[in-house]
Structure 1
Amino acid sequence: MRTSRIDSAGRTPRTRTTTLDLFRHDMRKLTVYGLPLNPLSALDQLAGASFCVSYGTRDKLNRQLDDAIRLVGEDQILLVDNGAFGMHKRGVDARDEAYLEDYERWAQAILDRCPHAIAVILTSSKAPRPRIGTSS
């Protein structure tokens, strides 16, 4: 919050607050730990942190997804990544309708369980994607 000085006439000088000024006060570094984590026992030591789970590596998460939902901090996030980059490297089109539907179903199940979860959604200029994480 900006503090202002009073000039010799008892007036508060006019200041211009920009959007950048408003955001600058709230910016802070956020460390997000990617899962799966090895060794598994290290996850409990990160209680209260932020985590990232990827649809591309969901088969390797085992119980770490449940642990991340339980351990994510009150003012932290659980980032639910669509895995598009990794899938692209493997030759899978992450814009494929079946892939998107499966990802959205997986992500929605996480969002339903974790109020701190944020899902990455791919959009296309052809058609808007269905909104997940909200009631229609």
Structure 2
Amino acid sequence: MPLTGTHVIHPQWRQHHEPTILGTMTARVRLSKPGQLGTRDPVTGATPTLPPVPYYEGPGRVQARGGAGPADSTAEREVTVGPYLVAVPVDIGGAVPELGDVVDVLSGDDPLLAGERLYVVEVPTASILLQRSLFCDLHQPSTPGG
């Protein structure tokens, strides 16, 4: 137990380490909300899906999570752990990533990664937020009942 009036972790710890964390984000990513259904065409009967709506484009880190299983349990709650971890800065303009959001990898050190589209399958939370971590998969998450 810390002494009264002291902190185990300095209140400005994040600000001190943030430049190093941001320095690891060498990829460029775009986060988007998935496209919604458009208006049904009365002639063809088709209902188009509109393109994803971007809410962040900037630095990020994308890495494979070797050995990650499809699900894990934490704090008595089952979470989906996708095979990719995408990290972006904490402050992305007030937007909050959600399950099903789209992550487009625009560029990075690995030319095989550029152009990949990933889907957010879990947004873990933390008491000390150093980066916004997103567990992602190459496949869209299924929706309940669908």
User: What TM-score does the superposition give when structure 2 sets the normalisation length?
Assistant: 0.24
Structure with a larger share of its residues in strand: 2
RCO comparison, higher one (Cα < 8 Å, 6+): 2
More helix by share: 1
Which structure is larger by alpha-carbon Rg, 1 or 2?
1
TM-score by length of 1: 0.25
